Chain A
Amino acid sequence: MSLIVLGLNHKTAPVEIREKLAFNTQETIREGLKRLIQTEGINEAVIFSTCNRVEVYAYSNEENESIIEKIKHFLSDFHNIPIKDFEEYLYIYIDRDAVSHLFKVASSLDSMIVGEPQITGQVKDSYEIALSERATSLILNHLMNRALFTAKRVRNETRIGENPVSVSYAAVGLIKKVFDELSKKFILLVGAGEMAELAIRHLIGSGIKNVYVTNRTYARAEELAREFSGTAVPFENLKEHIARSDIIICSTGAPNYVITEQMIKEVMLLRKHKPLFLIDISVPRNIDPACNELDNVYLYNIDDLQDVVDSNILERKKEADKALSIIEEETEKFFQWLNSLQSVPVIVSIRNKAEQVRQEELEKFKARFKELSPEVLASVDYLTQSIINKIMHSPTVALKNNCDSKEILIFAARRLFGLDSEEE
Chain B
Amino acid sequence: MGTIFFELALTLYFAGFLLSLAGIVRKKDDLDEAVFLLSVGGLALHTVYLAVRYIKSGQAPVFSMHEATSFFAWSILLISLCIRFSYKARVLNFGVILSFAFMFVSAFFPRSIPSVKPELKSLLIDFHALMAVFGIALFSIAFIFSVLYLIQERAIKYKKFGGIDRILPSLEILDRINYRLVFWGFPIYTFALVIGMIKYVSLLGFRFDPKEIWSFLIWIVYLTIFYLRVKGDWRKKKAAYLTIVGFLLVIFGFFGINLLTESFHKPL
Contacts and interface: CB of A to CB of B under 8 A. Distances in A.
Contact of B237 (A156, A295, A307): A295
B235 A296 contact: yes
A178 B162 contact: no
Interface residues of B, number: 23
Interface in B152-192: 152, 155-157, 159, 161-162, 165-166, 169-173, 176
Given A177-B170, A179-B170, A180-B169, A308 B161 contact: yes
Interface in A274-319: 274-275, 292, 295-296, 298, 300, 304, 307-308, 311, 315
A295 B28 CA distance: 29
A273 interface: yes
B233 A298 contact: no
Contacts of B155: 177
B236 interface: yes
B30 interface: yes
B157 A275 contact: no
Contacts of B232: 272
Interface string B225-250: 00000001101111000000000000
Contacts of A162: 166
Nearest to B175: A275
A178 B155 CA distance: 11
A300 B160 CA distance: 12
B159 A178 contact: no
Pick from A177, A181, A272, A315 the residue with the most CB of B within 10 Å.
A177
A174 interface: yes
Interface string A115-139: 0000000000000000000000000
Contacts of B237: 295-296
B229 to A, nearest CB: 12
A176 interface: yes
Interface in B205-263: 232-233, 235-238
A300 B156 CA distance: 9
B30 A180 contact: no
Contacts of A296: 235-237
Nearest to B172: A180
Report the contact-size class of chain A (Cβ under 8 Å from the partner): 20 to 34
Contacts of B170: 176-180
Contacts of B157: 292, 298
A159 interface: yes
Nearest to A178: B171
Interface in A31-56: none
A219 B152 CA distance: 40
A205 B33 CA distance: 29
Given A178-B156, A272-B232, A273-B235, 14 more contacts: A162-B166, A174-B156, A177-B152, A177-B156, A177-B171, A178-B172, A180-B169, A273-B236, A274-B235, A295-B237, A295-B238, A296-B235, A298-B156, A311-B162
Interface of B: 28, 30, 152, 155-157, 159, 161-162, 165-166, 169-173, 176, 232-233, 235-238
The 5 nearest A-B residue pairs measured at CB: A180-B172, A180-B170, A180-B173, A178-B171, A179-B172
